[in-house]
Structure 1
Amino acid sequence: MFPQTLQTRIKHSIKAQLKIEHLITLLTVSAVFITWYIVTDLKIFSDVIIPSPWKVYKTFIDIIAEGYKGSALSRHLLDSLERLLTAFGLVCITAVPIGLLSGYSSKVRAVFEPLVEFYRPLPPLAYYTMLVIWMGIGNSSKIMLLYLAGFAPVYLACISGVMKIKQDYIYGAYTLGANKYQIFFYVVFPSCLPDIFTGLRTALGFSYTTLVAAEMVAAETGIGWMVLDASKFLLSDVIFVGILIMGVTGIILDALLKFIENRLVPWKGKG
Structure 2
Amino acid sequence: MKRVKKLTIGTWIVIFGAWYLTTKFGIIESVLVPSPYEVGAAFIEILVDGYNGISLIAHLGISFKRLLIASFFAVVTAIPLGLLSGYYDKIRAVVDSVIQFYRPLPPLAYYTLLILWFGIDDLSKITLLFLAAFAPIYIACISAVTKINEDYILSAESLGADQRSVFFHVVLPACMPEIFTGLRTAVGVAYTTLVAAEMVAATSGVGWMVIDASKYLKSDVMFVGIIIMGITGILIDGGLRFLEKKLVFWKGRV
TM-score range, shorter chain: over 0.9
1:116 partnered with 2:95: no
Q: Which amino acid aligns with 1:140?
A: L
Q: Aligned ranges for residues 203-222 of structure 1 at < 5 Å?
A: 203-222=186-205
Gaps of 5+ in 1: 1-17
Q: Aligned ranges for residues 180-259 of structure 1 at < 5 Å?
A: 180-259=163-242
Q: How many residues get paired? A: 254
Q: Which amino acid aligns with 2:223?
A: F
Q: Aligned ranges for residues 29-68 of structure 1 at < 5 Å?
A: 29-68=12-51
CA distance in 2, matches of 1:89, 1:33: 36
Q: Aligned ranges for residues 91-106 of structure 1 at < 5 Å?
A: 91-106=74-89
Gaps of 5+ in 2: none
1:84 partnered with 2:67: yes
Q: What is the Cα deviation at residue 45 of structure 1? A: 0.5
CA distance in 2, matches of 1:245, 1:68: 14
Q: Aligned ranges for residues 133-144 of structure 1 at < 5 Å?
A: 133-144=116-127
CA distance in 1, matches of 2:133, 2:59: 22
Q: What is the Cα deviation at residue 270 of structure 1? A: 4.1
Structure 1 residues 200-242: Cα deviation after superposition (integer angstroms, max 9, x where no partner): 0000110000000000111110000000000000100000000
Q: Identity of aligned pairs, percent?
A: 56
One of 236, 241, 244 as aligned partner of 1:261: 244
Q: Which amino acid aligns with 2:107?
A: P
TM-score by length of 1: 0.92
Q: What is the Cα deviation at residue 268 of structure 1? A: 2.1
Range with bigger deviation, 259-268 or 134-143:
259-268
Q: Which runs of 4+ in 1 moved over 3 A?
A: none
CA distance in 1, matches of 2:102, 2:130: 12
CA distance in 2, matches of 1:35, 1:176: 63
Q: Which amino acid aligns with 2:31?
A: V
The structure having more radius of gyration, on CA atoms, is: 1
CA distance in 2, matches of 1:33, 1:84: 29
Partner of 2:153: 170
